Amino acid sequence: MNIDFFKTPVAASFLVLLMACSSPPTHFYTLVSPEEALANHDPSTDPFAFELEPASVPPQVDQAQLMVRLNGSEMTPLEFDRWAAPLGDEIRDALSHDLTADLGVSDVYKVPHPDHLAVYRIQTTVSRFDSFPGQYALIEATWSVHPPGPNAVPVACHASISEPVGTAYSSLVEGHQRALKELSSRVAQTVRALQERRGGTVCPG
C-alpha cells in the first residue's frame, strides 16, 4: 500500500475509529441504592421534613474516576470505571434516597414547601471514602442536624463504617452503598431523637 495513504484524512479517520474500537468500554456506577424510596407526595402532609445539603468529600477521591487503594499508601484512578455524577452529588443523592425511605418524609432541599413545615437541616462531611478491592469499602463521616426553630441547638455526630468487598469494582460500589445505607440509618436516628425530644445523647452508639 502507498505510504502516502496514511497521510490522508480518510486514513486518519480510520485510525481514530480503530483506536476507539480497541479501547475497553467505560463503566459508570451510582451510589444510589436500587431499592425503592418513598413515592413522591405532598410535603404538607408530613409531620416534618428534612433538607439534606450537598456532601463535602475529600479532594483526593473527588474525581470522575473511581480511586482505589493499591496498598497502605498508594492509590490509582480507574480510567474506565467512573461515577455517573460527581462523587459529592452521588453521596447526597444516596443519603437522600435512604433517609426518605427510613424517615418516611420528604427531602425539601431546593424544593418549595409550606412555611409552617418543621424542617431539619442536615449537613454531611465525608472525611474518608476509601476503596480497597478485595478488602473493604470504608466511609468516615460527620453529620450535623439543625432542628427547626430560632433557638434550636444543632447536634453533630461522627461514624466510621467499613464493609467487606470482593475484588470486582462493582463489589466496591455495592460496599459503599451498604455503608451509606448504614450512615443514613444513623442520621435518621439522630433526627428521630430530636423530633421526639428524647433526653441524653442523640448520636447513635
Question: pLDDT tens-digit profile of 160-188?
Answer: 999 999 999 999 999 999 999 999 999 99
R_g over Cα of the chain: 22
The set of cell numbers assigned to 188 is 435518621
In single-letter form, the type of residue at position 34 comes to P
From the candidate CATH numbers 1.20.900.10, 3.40.50.2300, 3.40.50.10610, 3.40.50.720, the one assigned to the domain spanning 25-195: 3.40.50.10610
Residue 35: is its pLDDT beyond 80?
no
Instruction: Give SS3 for 48.
Output: coil
Pairing of strands 75-83, 27-29: parallel
C-beta of residue 145 within 8 angstroms of C-beta of residue 154: yes
**pLDDT over 70, % of the chain:** 83
Task: Please state the domain extents for the chain.
Answer: 25-195
pLDDT at 77: 93
In single-letter form, the type of residue at position 151 comes to N
C-beta of residue 84 within 8 angstroms of C-beta of residue 90: yes
Q: What is the Cα 73 distance to its own chain's centre? A: 24
Please state the pTM of the whole predicted model.
0.84
C-beta of residue 31 within 8 angstroms of C-beta of residue 178: no
Question: pLDDT tens-digit profile of 101-113?
Answer: 999 999 999 988 8
C-beta of residue 186 within 8 angstroms of C-beta of residue 205: no
Report d(CA 12, CA 205) in Å as an integer: 62
